[in-house]
Amino acid sequence: MIKKETQIEVLLHGDPFGFSCEVLGVEDMRYNSYSEVFTVSFEEIYEYTSAHGLLQSDSFTKDFSSEGFHYYKEDGKWHTFFKERGYIFDEKSFNEDESGRKYIVRTLLKMRGTGLF
């Protein structure tokens, strides 16, 4: 069984597809399920981020030039947004740390494309 910490790090910041193929010894996931590799729950992932913190995304302000999902904490608030082709959209700010972290964790997990959460 794969350590929970490893599963969580791969789901949040790694390559679930490549990791799963390697663990299962398959070339693709068409005939397999990510649930065969990843056994952690959303609650366990969230608890892990509560204890270890969230890695900051590459951006610390809205002026960052990279595309994708961005999040940063400023003045005690979490700020999130997506940037594509120079346009910023779906901006959110969270006054409560917990609601901000939960949104960020859910978004990161959805973006991995595993369909687990």
- Residuewise pLDDT in 10s, the chain (117 residues): 899 999 999 999 999 999 999 999 999 898 999 999 999 999 999 999 999 988 766 555 556 668 889 999 999 999 999 999 989 999 999 999 999 999 999 999 999 999 998
Predicted pLDDT of residue 78: 94
Q: Which residues contact 45 (CB under 8 A, 6 or more apart)?
A: 8, 11, 12, 105, 109
Predicted pLDDT of residue 59: 55
Domain ranges of the chain: 4-111
Helical H segments across the chain, by residue range: 4-13, 16-24, 42-52, 97-111
